Amino acid sequence: MLWLSLSLFVSLANAKPLVARWDNMKLKHGWETLPAHWVPIGAAPEGATIDLHIKLKSADADALIGTLLEVSDPSHERYGKHLSKEEVAELVAPHSDTHAIVASWLAAHNIAARPAFNGDWLQLDAVPIETANALLDASYQLYEHPSTGETLLRTQSYSLPAALHGHVSVVAPTTFFGTPQAMRATSRVEENTKVVQEDVLRAQALSPDAVPSSCASTITPSCLKALYNTTGFTPAATNRNILAVAGYLQEFANQADLTTFANRFLTGASSATFGTVLINGGQNSQNNPGVEANLDIQYTTGMSFPTPQIYYSTGGSPPFISDDNTPTNTNEPYLNFLDTFIAQSPLPQTLTTSYGDDEQTVPLDFATEVCNLFAQLGTMGTSVMFSSGDFGVGGGDCQTNTSPRKVQFQPIFPATCPFVTSVGGTTSVNPEVAASLSSGGFSNYFAQPSYQTSSVATFLNAIGTQFNGLFNRTGRGFPDVAAQAEHFQVVIGGRVGSVAGTSCSSPTVAGVVSLLNDFRLSEGKSSLGFLNPLLYSTGLSGLNDITSGSNPGCGTAGFTARAGWDPVTGLGTLDFGKLKALLG
């Protein structure tokens, strides 16, 4: 609906203020206490500006999710009939009255706006801080994260005119203090752990029934191909199938390291390469590559070569120090990436991301709208994977940030979003068991989606009253699936190191999913899109259940993996051969 975006732009540019009481402000969101680890350090520098995003409420609040579940349900007649960007824009379009009233409000403050995403968001560029404070009855100031040295402009609360609460869902950045450096990258280098300089198994056609015991201590692509039954499959739809990796923390993947990795750990892949898209000051100097970025691109390549890979390097995380050249605060980890990614043509069919925040640190309204953007990707045919986290049922003291504080398991966002596929971790072989680092549990924000009700109920009935009061029994359960998460052999700066974390698991699963997308596309079918309704129904027989191990945290033993779904390894690991047969 191009005409909608154009008409909205024109209305915002030309609208005259309507008669309205913009001074009748009503709180939209505020924190009871300042989010942990952030301290105020003073007023914004003179001349500072901030880029703002405004989410306009959709006229039909249920249309997007209803459509997503239909096109993702293998038993529905609409299965696989994904929507175009224009069709999604129509689904999420605001009510016509919304355009006029929001335009009037912005005009009263002499602010121009332009459409973003699929037309249901507005972007306000370089708004002076004093104007932003007046617009939102806010108090933007500088805050610092002492452990990272990062600073950013945020406000502990903001309000909207009462007349706008029925038209605007969220304004960002306002009260979300998460930034890429403060977000938790779900990987770590394993010091003093065995590494191998090359994969001696790569010339062998390993099967799931013959996974070498060496894979318990050193994971290579050959180990993963055997474990997840992809050995021998050659992608055929490489002219239209794309696998994307989202990166933050000023990290980028290094081409020389990928070439070294391919020569040492893959067969016939010395030509392996990847594209790079820079977002909001993302880096790609090819010096001092990131562990996370190299891990991701090496193992998506390792699982799916020669499928095209694209690494999205999203910046915005350096300390915010305003000057004449860079007066604008643009630290916004999710929206900056998604604004660019949704506009991609063609849109990658598979996306993996290995970052997350404690759910309680993300304002609910913001989390909801970011989650809905992932739902938009699903309706357009993109499968979205997020690592579940590396902190069991919770890291640190697990204190809530509400008053009075109490100990509670800490779920990880966006892994808790019901419209992404959350990936937990396993370790060992013959059999695989849950990795103790694997984050999992239940969302405090998102209700349990219908596609997993039966599976989660079986688990809850089995544990009875265990951990009562420490988690939300009616929340969305995560993770959904799992993959290996320890002892990954990664080339970093020309040298091989061992890496652990669900950052290893998510790109591994994404590689398998990309192969499934390749198979479907080469058969003239659609990509898989949102995976969960398939995984929890007919796809269940294509998974390997993990039935032992646990994820301790918060001073407890954590949940225990068991038959069926569990909040440690989800439904289990993917068997490509079985899933391919089911999807044929």
Active-site choice (388, 503, 506, 527): 503
Query: Which residues are CB-neighbours of 557 under 8 A, at least 6 positions away?
Result: 550
The burial class, CB within 10 Å (0-12 / 13-18 / 19+), for 304 is buried
Token couple for 182: 């403060």
Among candidate residues 341, 425, 430, the one with its CA nearest the CA of residue 380:
341
Residue by residue, DSSP assigns 439-484 as --EEEEEEEPPGGGHHHHHHHHHHHTTTTTTSS-TTEEEE-SEEEE
- Contact partners, residue 191, CB within 8 Å, separation at least 6: none
Q: Which element (helix H / strand E) includes 581?
A: helix 576-583
Pick the catalytic residue from 199, 292, 358, 566. 292
- Residue 339 in 3-state DSSP? helix
Eight-state DSSP code of residue 351: E
503 given a catalytic annotation: yes
Between CA 366 and CA 174 the distance in angstroms is: 9
Distances (CA, A) of 68 to 64, 221, 260, 376, 480: 6, 33, 41, 8, 17
β pairing state of 150-154 and 141-145: antiparallel
Q: Which residues pair with 143 in a beta bridge?
A: 40, 152
Amino acid identity of residue 455, one-letter, is S
User: CB–CB of 205/231 below 8 Å?
Assistant: yes
**SS3 state at 524:** coil
- Closest of 256, 268, 251, 341 to residue 298, by C-alpha: 256
* 357 part of the active site: no
Active-site residue, from 73, 120, 296, 575: 296
The catalytic residues are 292, 296, 503
